[in-house]
Structure 1
Amino acid sequence: MAARRQALNHGGLLLLTSIGHRTGLLNALAGQAPLTSQALAEHAGLQERYVREWLGGMVAAEVIETDSATATYWLPDEHAALLTDQGPANLAIYAQFIPLLGSVEDDVVHCFREGGGVPYARYSLSHCMTVSLAQGGEGLGTMWGRERALAYLEAAGFRDIRVHQLEHDIQNDYFVCRL
């Protein structure tokens, strides 16, 4: 029973971590002196009520520290090193995959009942390598990275190549190309 309870708690923590990454709350807390939920909300440009609820979950998960006497919160440096852009390995980026998988749950349940499959399009860009490989491609992006993709696009004759990233997902590039 304890292992199942822990799994549920960890799943919730990953969702909260994804929210903290995508809203910028984790980066906003990193390196700061203790802040109230109102001050953090203003600093991040977010609604205080939601920031306060998020802080409560992250405190319960022992990711964020709090001082109940002053109603302030802070992100310890050792946590910031793993969950923000301040460290070399921002693990919060990977937490985004939990909500992505949750977004297709209804489709998967439907497949259990009716058969069939969930189209790659429902998974956004997370399966670009597998789609490429399934269609006879070379799995660009996930497997070889930006440099190989740029070399292939240039070899294909593209000269105006622009590399873009989503603000909340810097690990994946997408390319807009013109001849």
Structure 2
Amino acid sequence: MRQPDPQKLDALVGRLVGDVGACVTGSLIVLGDQLGLYKAMGDGKPVSAAELASRTGVKERYVREWLSAQAAAEYVQYDEKTDRFSLSPEQVMAFAEEGSPAFFAGAFEIVQSMWVDEPKVEQAFRTGEGLGWHEHSKCLFRGTERFFRPGYNANLKTSWIPALDGVEAKLEKGAVVADVGCGHGASTILMAQAYPKSRFFAFDYHGPSIEKAREAADEAGVGDRIVFEQASAKDFPAKKYDLVAMFDCLHDMGDPVGAGRHVMETLADDGTWMIVEPFAHDHLKDNLNPVGRIFYGASTMICTPASLSQEVGLGLGAQAGEMRLRKVALDAGFSRFRRATETPFNMVFEVRA
């Protein structure tokens, strides 16, 4: 066995210290989000621990320790002269503003579910049986909606739909749209708000998510223009849709080819299948970066187990890449497949018969 290089060992230990700090800070981000501490600092004005405790109805001693940890993580500003804490404009966007394109608090609820559900995933590793989406903790469902919604809000109307050939014109005139795998309905609600003349039908196999989606749509004032229904990607009702959309969910399906065949059967003659998937290159070596690190980790704990728990169990994973997604679409019977646009976190594909 080779002897360790002391300098490399020191570098590794240093990185591990940073990663342990990140894990600890992640739990504190969830805590601060749940207690409303960030939102209470959302005006950016300096505040003492006592003042923040008073604003949020929690105890000062706990708040001071939390603020100190946040300052050490450089997620909160600290002024030694006044002993006050504040959020910078950038930190406000990341932690206090739900509608911000940089809002990140929801991501840590997803990470929370990974820790809580780790014993279930360990069992899946040992048996190969997989772990269904519905078998995870509730923080995953809430966190997923809150994590993806800012990206959808920033890109769906401004770049993703306009990048599809002729789709936006149909939506503005009045189209029939299916949102498959809708979760808590963030993507459907945004489309309904952007295109009031169109009709929307949203489907998810997870019943509690459909209930949450209905509540969210009513709160957003578009509940009368969206029909939410519990159904899988292989049996949702056919209505000759002008657009079938799947947002960050195709890779979670056990039989994405079968889902694609069903999409083919439900589309209008000139309909479009829009697939939004996590950004990934086709080869592992090109995904060994910070974004790939997040997506491979989530895929290990959530996406791949979800697929392996279903029929076929193709197990695409969250870093499937364009080539594998193209093969799914072509195997499903489609003949046209192109990458319409992309962001650092997503790829958007246009698929047609």
TM-score using structure 1 length: 0.67
Deviation string, structure 1 residues 109-163 (Cα, Å, up to 9, x no partner): 344556644443233374699xxxxxxx932236953357x7226xxxxxxx942
- Once residues 127 and 24 of structure 1 are traced to their aligned partners in structure 2, the CA distance between those partners, rounded to angstroms, is 20
Match of 1:38 among 47, 50, 53: 50
Determine if the alignment matches structure 1 residue 164 to structure 2 residue 216: yes
Match of 2:200 among 124, 142, 151: 151
Written as runs of structure 1 = structure 2, the 5 A alignment for 1:40-119 is 40-85=52-97, 88-89=100-101, 90-112=103-125, 116-119=129-132
Q: For 1:20, what is the secondary structure of its paired residue?
A: helix
**Kept in 2: contact 1:33–1:74 (CA 8 A):** yes
Determine if the alignment matches structure 1 residue 140 to structure 2 residue 182: yes
RMSD: 3.4
- Once residues 98 and 128 of structure 2 are traced to their aligned partners in structure 1, the CA distance between those partners, rounded to angstroms, is 45
Q: For 1:70, what is the secondary structure of its paired residue?
A: coil
**Residues 162/118 of structure 1: CA separation in 2 closer, same or farther (3 Å cut):** closer
Q: For 1:66, what is the secondary structure of its paired residue?
A: strand
Counterpart position of 2:28: 16
- Once residues 45 and 141 of structure 2 are traced to their aligned partners in structure 1, the CA distance between those partners, rounded to angstroms, is 40
**Kept in 2: contact 1:27–1:85 (CA 8 A):** yes
1:86 shift after superposition? 7.3
Deviation string, structure 1 residues 46-97 (Cα, Å, up to 9, x no partner): 2222212211110110111122343211111221122221762212222211
- Once residues 86 and 139 of structure 1 are traced to their aligned partners in structure 2, the CA distance between those partners, rounded to angstroms, is 22
Consecutive unaligned residues of structure 1, counting only runs of 5 or more, are: 130-136, 154-160, 166-174
Q: State percent identity of aligned pairs.
A: 23
Counterpart position of 2:349: none
**Kept in 1: contact 2:110–2:139 (CA 8 A):** no
1:33 shift after superposition? 2.5
- Once residues 36 and 75 of structure 2 are traced to their aligned partners in structure 1, the CA distance between those partners, rounded to angstroms, is 15
Q: For 1:163, what is the secondary structure of its paired residue?
A: helix
- Once residues 180 and 40 of structure 2 are traced to their aligned partners in structure 1, the CA distance between those partners, rounded to angstroms, is 39
1:15 shift after superposition? 2.2
Consecutive unaligned residues of structure 2, counting only runs of 5 or more, are: 1-11, 145-178, 193-198, 203-212, 218-226, 230-353
> How many pairs align?
153
**Residues 164/47 of structure 1: CA separation in 2 closer, same or farther (3 Å cut):** farther
**Residues 14/39 of structure 1: CA separation in 2 closer, same or farther (3 Å cut):** same
